[in-house]
Amino acid sequence: MSTFRYGGFWRRALAIWMDGLVIQFIMFLAFMTMKYTLPDSMAPDIGSYPAFLTGYVYLAGGVLMNMAYYTIFHGMGGQTPGKWVMGVKVIRDTGEEMTLGYAFLRWVGYLVSYIFFFLGFIWVAFDRRKQGWHDKIAGTLVIRTRGQYRGGDKAEGSPSDASRQHLSSSSS
């Protein structure tokens, strides 16, 4: 019986770095669009209260963009563009596909992993099933979508046979 290989620390780190670049690019485009489409009377001056407020609006927009990005991509297909490039996918630890609800819960887990000096993300490097705190909170696994059946570091407690058939048929 074949088993899946978990997505390891470095694959996941590169994927999240790529996703961060995508999110920053989208935020830059949104900021520049607002800057050049707002009337001059609404443009903030340096050092004024509106300029100070603009920073908080940008920060809040970034958090909302991050939440939407990860929730939608993980919930609708189990992969962000970065995870797709790196050949990994998020699934439920039961072997089922992700839903928007579990994807949102996983994003909330990202906050927990982040708040404690990124320890929840670093945890992936040492966990037997390569789960970060966010994966443990949401009950998810990150598996490889390419090269998953090679010998070596096979996953213990792998997803169900039905999920394996579904994933292998969708990657063909």
Give tens-digit pLDDT for 21-74. Answer: 999 999 999 888 877 887 665 655 555 556 667 778 888 989 999 999 999 999
Query: Hey, how many other C-beta atoms are within 10 angstroms of the C-beta on 4?
Result: 23
Q: pLDDT value at position 130? A: 97
Q: pLDDT value at position 80? A: 98
Q: pLDDT value at position 66? A: 97
Percent of the chain with pLDDT over 90: 63
How confident is residue 94, by pLDDT bands cut at 50, 70 and 90?
A: very high
H or E segment to which residue 146 belongs: none
Q: How far apart are the first and last CA of the chain?
A: 19
Under 8 Å between Cβ of 93 and 158: no
Domain boundaries, the chain: 9-170
Under 8 Å between Cβ of 144 and 152: no
Q: pLDDT value at position 56? A: 82
- Torsion angle defined by CA atoms of residues 72, 76, 77 and 80, in that order, rounded to the nearest 10 degrees: -10
Length of the chain: 172
pLDDT, averaged across the chain: 84
Question: Tokens at residue 161, please?
Answer: 């046979």
Task: Tell which wins on pLDDT, 148 or 80.
Answer: 80
Under 8 Å between Cβ of 90 and 83: yes
